Structure 1
């Protein structure tokens, strides 16, 4: 009988691969590809799953990309050596098939030099590393924790000594999406632009003006979801995410004449854009970009849907004239919906990332393999339960590993959705906490930058706010950004009630007036706060800015007291030591509330509250 080994396997790249995205679909496909390659490695080592200790697969739900990129398995040395072997690894062949299908779908024709670069960029992409130690059944029951810690230390050392193939490429310009690898096509810039304008004629990849993609990003852009055994995602672009609540509001009014006329107008416009019509009562199929009046300018439509037409060329202007009448018809329908039904789309959407606190410690502190499997099973259940909850609120999960999740959705009820995810985590793992980041951003803002902000917010929630916290950034179209952080109980007891009061009619001027005098309540070093003075002043403003007939004596007092704890939290000195301006954090917390209220879909007939 051959010696059995306990192995820790890592499949990468992870964050850099997933976040190399200009479109929502790029992000989602990247996550799905990583999950698929990890699954191939899992299935190779243990076809029936009996040798896999972590993760425990609870139920298959590939839509959520819920296969962690690291796993622990019982196996033999020969299988491990074959796992990363040049001719025996389970990853290269399915990856090659996916790449070939994507290139075929794109229709790109590559010369010999570009083909060599294509092969180089793709063949060495996946980093599969493993470490292993011999074990016995006794080790797995009595010495398992020590063995796992030994594996973790060995894997960190292995990552520090990994090898790379020699760089192949040129000093030509880089991929417009990842910014690292060389773009496919001719090396001369003018010829490369012409090359990619021709590629843009293929609507399958939604290549935009200015795109020049490397082999990896081209695969992500053109691979069909069907090639991965999936359906196409509901959100293809950030505009699709932003308009989700607006679409739901339209679907709730199927008999409204304004809604029917909008669908008819869009059905008239889509063929002119080279797209199929949506038919009747198919609001979900409307491209999100067509629900923003400013995007319906003929020149904007030509740039979006006909990127191969040069801006100053005759074809561009002819196409713009062809689209003008029907585009204005759609604009009019959107205006009628705003004025008559009182609804309009928000230009903002939300990125949300949550990560369990001290989860490495939680998973490694086990007595035996049975306890490890039990903990892994709980995470496996979370990996689908949290996305199920978010999906029910109109959100899309990019990945979910149980102790971490990345999702996006409309701005409507974003704080409540985030709180729902945190509650589910705590219910599943009593005594454990999770920290999260949220970025509320305009759909025009670069996705990669928003993802970078998101990762920084998660890190700040852990390191600056002491974990069990949410850090939120609002990134306006103007480029202005403001950030605030709170423990989860403050989100529930202060931020959500503030939104609720505004829905009940509290004027946003309340926030403006509080901000005007805010520095009067803080001492110079920011670590002392005149709570009673603040409550007296805010109380007078609160009553002044409530609508007539709204009685808020007891309930309003409780809300203002909770608001004061946000102004001067228990961890104020720790925040000050970390370099945070406590007053600025509170000011930004106040600014978030009227912004989220202003950007809601339901505004009331005849009202318009346009944001940046």
Structure 2
């Protein structure tokens, strides 16, 4: 494939635009907008026969209707001498596509368009370079394109229409807000959003249609629990509790908004309940109501417009709320607790209030594609159009495998491009999904680094996304990269994080499960004082300055390990076996043996999580304890 121009078209500011999201629907819409622009760019190139375009990235055939493998960069080889024209055509086409979407959201006949009030200079940000055929073979063209594109990134266009009478956009403060579109629902009309943010917010409503939504944080957090409830529908008390829950919600929530379906729900779950309307309701609308904490009288009253911000009482009683509403809220809290109790008797863990953001990115992908980095097979990539096409196909296959792994665990993918991934996953499945997605990246591709952040379903989604990407950046700062950054943010704001290597000995996700009840250790109970005592002894175990500034020499390795085992045994107890199966006279001896084995494995795992030469990393212990407490 010689005698062709090389064209690279990149959409800049993509991650920022996607992350500027308040809801999961914003998040998914932002991703779909970027994928739609990239697909439109590919179609534009292929539609002009004069260009005779050969697409290198993404894989041809992925442009139409494909959710995976659509990167924010298009690489194509076109007929000699047509490169600049091809790139400009793509830029103009994407500008026109964006204008069309704005028109769908705001209305084509809206007078604001004619006045220029809906213009968005600086978005979308389409950057392109064209390298002529005379520059040499594909490798020479590629190197030149990367240098030019790197320089292009330093050019900024600050032009923007500013209406000083309007506040800044609450999602994207680099833009001014505009009055809401006519089709904006009543509950959204008070928001200060810019044109790009309104397009994202109303993306699924554009053109007057109502398209598929996206699961909420509560829907994802409770997915594993709801699936288990439906599988155990015939167990005592479960169906009755769900019916009671439904009756209470019907009295409280008149909006009748269904939760977007999770594609990973298996067939046996969707058929649970034998056609029981309560089971259908539980799948479609029960996501948030399984949490007793949701049944807060004042919060629900404010949410459904039954009580003003001033909190003044009304005429129907001391609370100012209808008696039936108050009664339904109280009964709803009782029904959610009754469901949890019935589930516990059936062997189900309670619904976790947490979910996880999973982000993954290939290490040094730019160097690898330029032949200056090495893949997992140890060799550099030959920089040819054919090899780049082969890598493009590999990335497409990785993206499909990653989606399958996420959805199998009842998670949902925001985007999967093969070289990068963003997904939301139920907390109980997050470690396993992180491992599965990591393992989809095989030779000849480079290694992958991962960020995994657990957060409460009521916490800020935007903060969680930002912190997850920070964890990914920290994982990539490890020597050799190929790291896993993992952390949590509780609803109270408490947080901790640590970074471990994917390939440094035993699987890191197994070490992070050190305190989680499994196998014989399921009967182990941990004292809340364990974490505090381990942290208090850290300077003696590993050396360093204590809180008073006094330096300590570390204990000899063997002595320090023995002390850690003693502390762990001291803070563990053993619950009786189910049904009292062990003879009473053997219990103390067996329990002590179990505690010793648990302490031995725990010390080895904690050392695995600590930096080289140390036994204890405080934040790693905090993360492991969090997983024990919240991610069963």
Rg larger for = 2
Residue 540 (str. 1) matches residue 519 (str. 2): no
Compared with structure 1, are the counterparts of its residues 321 and 276 closer, same or farther at alpha carbon in structure 2 (3 Å cutoff)?
Answer: same
Determine the structure 2 residue equivalent to 1:495.
Answer: 512
Verify: 1:507 aligned to 2:525, yes or no: yes
Q: Give the Å deviation of 1:308.
A: 10
What is the aligned partner in structure 1 of residue 404 from structure 2? 388
Q: Please report the RMSD computed on the Cα atoms of aligned residues, expressed in angstroms.
A: 3.7
- Of the three residues 75, 79, 103, the one matched with 2:106 is 103
- Does the C-alpha gap of structure 1 residues 440 and 555 become closer, same or farther in structure 2, counting only changes over 3 Å? closer
Of 37-46 and 331-340, deviating more is 331-340
* CA apart distance, 1:119: 1.1
Could you say which residue in structure 2 is the equivalent of 1:460? 474
Q: Which runs of 5+ in 1 are unaligned?
A: 186-194, 573-581, 602-612
Question: 1:50-199 to 2 correspondence within 5 Å?
Answer: 51-57=54-60, 64-76=67-79, 78=82, 80-81=84-85, 83-84=87-88, 89-103=92-106, 116=115, 118-121=117-120, 124-135=122-133, 139=136, 143-170=137-164, 172-185=166-179
1:183 Cα deviation from its structure 2 partner: 2.1
Say whether the 8 Å CA contact 2:221–2:353 is kept in structure 1: yes
Report the more deviating stretch, 300-309 or 338-347: 300-309
1:261–1:333 Cα contact (<8 Å) kept: yes
Give runs of aligned pairs for residues 79-478 of structure 1, distance below 5 A: 80-81=84-85, 83-84=87-88, 89-103=92-106, 116=115, 118-121=117-120, 124-135=122-133, 139=136, 143-170=137-164, 172-185=166-179, 201=186, 207=188, 211-224=191-204, 232-235=212-215, 237-256=216-235, 257-266=237-246, 268-270=248-250, 272-276=252-256, 279-282=277-280, 283-286=282-285, 288-306=287-305, 312=311, 321-342=323-344, 343-365=349-371, 366-425=382-441, 428-429=442-443, 432-464=446-478, 466-478=480-492
- In structure 1, what is the Cα distance between the partners aligned to 2:320 and 2:37? 46
Query: Equivalences for 1:516-595 in 2 at 5 Å?
Result: 516-524=536-544, 530-543=556-569, 545=572, 547=574, 549=590, 551-552=593-594, 557-569=600-612, 586-595=617-626
For 2:41, the equivalent position in structure 1 comes to: 41
Structure whose residues are more often helix by fraction = 1
CA distance in 2, matches of 1:154, 1:344: 55
Distance 2:101 2:625 in 1: 46
Q: 1:574-605: per-residue Cα shift (whole Å, max 9, x none)?
A: xxxxxxxx95xx1111121222222246xxxx
* 1:502-522 CA-partner distances (Å, limit 9, x unpaired): 962332325454334222102
Structure-2 change in CA distance of 1:90 and 1:65 (3 Å): farther
1:81 shift after superposition = 2.9
SS of 1:413's partner is helix
SS of the residue corresponding to residue 153 of structure 2 reads helix
Residues 225 and 465 of structure 1: CA distance in aligned 2, closer, same or farther (over 3 Å):
farther
Gaps of at least 5 residues in structure 2 are: 259-276, 372-381, 546-551, 575-586
Are 2:68 and 2:416, in contact at CA under 8 Å, matched by a contact in 1? Answer: yes
* Aligned counterpart, 2:274: none
Deviation per residue, 1:342-391 (Å, 9 max, x gap): 24322221111111111111122124211111112111111211121111
How many correspondences in the alignment?
Answer: 561
Deviation at 1:157, TM superposition (A): 1.8
In structure 2, how many angstroms separate the alpha carbons of the residues matched to 1:312 and 1:198?
31
SS at match of 1:436: strand
CA distance in 1, matches of 2:58, 2:422: 18
Question: Conserved in 1, the CA contact under 8 Å of 2:184 and 2:202?
Answer: no
Counterpart-to-counterpart distance in 2, 1:527 and 1:420:
41
In structure 2, relative to structure 1, the CA distance for the partners of 1:196 and 1:522 (3 Å cut) is farther
Report deviation, 1:422. 1.3
User: Could you say which structure has the greater relative contact order, defined with CA pairs below 8 angstroms and 6 or more residues apart?
Assistant: 1
Q: Which residue number in structure 2 is paired with residue 32 of structure 1?
A: 32
CA distance in 1, matches of 2:88, 2:307: 42
* Cα distance change of structure 1 residues 12 and 482 upon mapping to structure 2, 3 Å threshold: same
Between the aligned partners of 1:477 and 1:97, the Cα distance in structure 2 is 40
Bigger drift between 289-298 and 389-398 goes to 289-298
Cα distance in 1, alignment partners of residues 65 and 396 from structure 2: 13
Q: Distance in 2 between matches of 1:431 and 1:175?
A: 40
Could you tell which deviates more after superposition, 216-225 or 17-26?
A: 216-225
**Deviating more after overlay: 246-255 vs 523-532:** 523-532
- In structure 2, distance between residues paired with 1:230 and 1:594: 43
Deviations 1:513-553 (A, max 9, x none): 43342221022269967431232123234445252646556
Provide the secondary structure at the position in 2 that maps to 1:172: coil
Give the Cα separation in 2 of the matches to 1:251 and 1:81. Answer: 57
Task: Find the aligned partners of 1:596 and 1:218 in 2 and give their Cα distance.
Answer: 38
Query: Conserved in 2, the CA contact under 8 Å of 1:270 and 1:277?
Result: no
